[in-house]
Amino acid sequence: MIRSKRPWRHTFQVALEGIWYTLRTQRNMQVHLGVMFAVTGLGLALGLERTEWFWIGLCITLVIMAELFNTAIETVVDLVMLNPHPLAKIAKDTAAGAVLVAAVFAVIVGVILLGIPVWKLLVN
């Protein structure tokens, strides 16, 4: 096995480059980031408890991770498949489905943790 002589910080640098690439090029990642800031602001305004922040953080992490994996899979498929292929479509659609599953979970958690307190504020 060949060992890399790259410095440890290089690991973080390439990871951040991947995140930055996805943020710059993927509209959905930009939407996810905007929602993340909105939810964080709302959570701060509502004074969420520690366990509620855990669930919010988990949801944000899952959605961002799913979007990063989706971008990676779509990029590799586009690289190796010069012509459309049914299996390439399945790979890309399945990766997009993973993002949808994570996002739906995040919305459900968000409605439970944020929707109810916001509704109570609006009603009173």
Question: Which CATH number is 10-123 given?
Answer: 1.10.287.3610
- How much is the pLDDT for 52? 97
Residue 9, pLDDT score: 84
* pLDDT confidence of residue 82: 87
- Please, what's the largest Cα pairwise distance for the chain? 66
- For the chain, 124 residues long, give each residue's pLDDT as a single digit of tens: 666 677 888 889 999 999 999 999 999 999 999 999 999 999 999 999 999 999 999 999 999 999 999 999 999 999 999 898 999 999 999 999 999 999 999 999 999 999 988 998 888 8
**Residue 106 CB neighbours (<10 A):** 23
Catalytic: which of 17, 49, 52, 67?
67
Residue 123: what residue type?
V
Give start and end residues of each alpha helix (H) in the chain: 8-25, 27-46, 50-80, 86-110, 116-123
pTM over 0.75, yes/no = yes
By the 10 Å C-beta count (0-12 exposed, 13-18 middle, 19+ buried), 82 is classed as exposed
The answer to whether 67 is a known catalytic residue is yes
What is the model's pLDDT at position 10?
A: 87
